[in-house]
């Protein structure tokens, strides 16, 4: 049995193989399918679909969210209109979700996918990402070398082979990658709606049922070392949704699912809100997230409050902890 495509070769092996691909044009001539149509597919076999699915697809229902998505700012409706349009409204199909860590960007994307029963092709950007991480690589399986499509062509091919399904491409923390690398996505988001794969010579078209969602952290705030400001030409192709933390009121309600004591939950939600305001104002280099709070309100049920507060303080650099501790002390005096 042929090994699964998910058995990836190491980056060092892939890098070495790229150096020995000078004859890629000849191989592309041999490999190019003359019957390529929408999404690079005419009759994509079930086996090939399964291969594409195994490498990149992600079941949104398996998303390990700590809580149900709370749509306090009606962002699901906004995202729906951007991706799918509405009566008399042409869909853009491309959305970028921007906001601080732990505010629910990924949660929003996965909730939309669940609502639409979408197949999700999901990936994470990283600082030394290159174009082939998005397009694909030649890889060794036994004594054979085969080309494994990256997330962009894989999702487009899968969408073309399954036109009745909605397909999401979700790439997290996109601004960790350089703008030069991300330029490979530009043709998918303009009038051509196609990408070219140099190694195989394929031109893969993006069908209308394939939607593109990027998430990104702020590039102009402390604590996000390595994030880049995205190229204006790229941002112009996306509608940007600003995602923020829950209000103290809504976050308190949420926390009561984990600790029935209203006063405990309210105090922790207010403490987190103070940290976030200070973070936005560059007074501290971190902020307490909803993920953190869900842990803390459970811990205080079985641990001394002082120890749980210390866990929260440890989220901050040493020089900031005294200041942050005073916020908690001020709430204790209320």
Domain boundary among 226, 242, 258: 242
| Four-CA torsion 136, 142, 145, 148, nearest 10 degrees | -20
CATH number of the domain encompassing residue 195: 3.40.50.300
**Same domain flag for 190 and 314:** no
Low pLDDT (below 70) residues in the chain: 1-67, 219-231, 330-334
Domain membership flag for residue 5: no
Domain membership flag for residue 1: no
Burial of 101 (0-12, 13-18, 19+ CB in 10 A): middle
Predicted pLDDT at 219: 55
Domain boundary among 212, 242, 272: 242
**Same domain flag for 166 and 230:** yes
Total tally of structural domains belonging to the chain: 2
Domain boundary among 242, 268, 294: 242
Domain membership flag for residue 6: no
**Same domain flag for 201 and 279:** no
**Same domain flag for 194 and 309:** no
pLDDT (tens digit, 9 = 90+) per residue, 243-268? 999 999 999 999 999 999 999 999 99
Q: In degrees, to the nearest 5, what angle opens at C-alpha 58 toward C-alphas 124 and 111?
A: 90
pTM (2 d.p.): 0.77
- Report the distance separating Cα 167 and Cα 294, nearest Å: 31
Domain carrying residue 265: 248-332
pLDDT (tens digit, 9 = 90+) per residue, 118-136? 999 999 888 888 888 899 9
pLDDT (tens digit, 9 = 90+) per residue, 275-323? 999 988 889 988 999 889 999 999 999 999 999 999 999 999 999 999 9
Nearest to 293 by CA among 257, 317, 320, 329: 257
């Amino acid at each position: 049995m042929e090994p699964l495509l998910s058995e990836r070769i190491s980056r060092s092996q892939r890098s070495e193989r790229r150096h020995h691909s000078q004859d890629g044009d000849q191989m592309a001539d041999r490999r190019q399918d003359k019957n390529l149509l929408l999404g690079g597919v005419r009759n994509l076999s079930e086996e090939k679909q399964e291969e594409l699915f195994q490498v990149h697809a992600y079941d949104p229902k398996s998303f390990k969210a700590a809580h149900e998505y709370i749509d306090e700012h009606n962002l699901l409706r906004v995202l729906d209109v951007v991706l799918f349009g509405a009566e008399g409204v042409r869909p853009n199909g491309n959305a970028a979700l921007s906001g601080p860590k732990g505010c629910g960007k990924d949660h929003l994307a996965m909730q939309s996918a669940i609502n639409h029963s979408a197949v999700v092709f999901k990936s994470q950007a990283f600082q030394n990402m290159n174009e082939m991480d998005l397009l694909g690589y030649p890889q060794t399986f036994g004594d054979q070398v085969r080309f494994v499509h990256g997330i962009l062509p894989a999702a487009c091919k899968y969408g073309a082979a399954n036109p009745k399904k909605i397909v999401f491409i979700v790439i997290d923390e996109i601004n960790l990658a350089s703008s030069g690398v991300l330029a490979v996505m530009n043709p998918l988001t303009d009038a051509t709606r196609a990408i070219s794969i140099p190694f195989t010579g394929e031109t893969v078209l993006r069908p209308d049922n394939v939607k593109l969602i990027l998430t990104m952290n702020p590039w102009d705030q402390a604590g996000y070392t390595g994030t880049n400001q995205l190229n204006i030409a790229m941002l112009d192709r996306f509608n940007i949704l600003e995602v923020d933390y829950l209000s103290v009121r809504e976050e308190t309600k949420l926390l009561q699912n984990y600790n029935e004591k209203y006063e405990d939950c309210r105090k922790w939600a207010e403490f987190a809100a103070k940290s976030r305001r200070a973070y936005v104002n560059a007074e501290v280099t971190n902020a307490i997230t909803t993920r953190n709070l869900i842990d803390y309100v459970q811990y205080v049920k079985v641990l001394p409050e002082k120890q749980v507060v210390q866990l929260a303080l440890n989220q901050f650099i040493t020089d900031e902890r005294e200041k942050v501790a005073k916020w908690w002390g001020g709430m204790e005096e209320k």
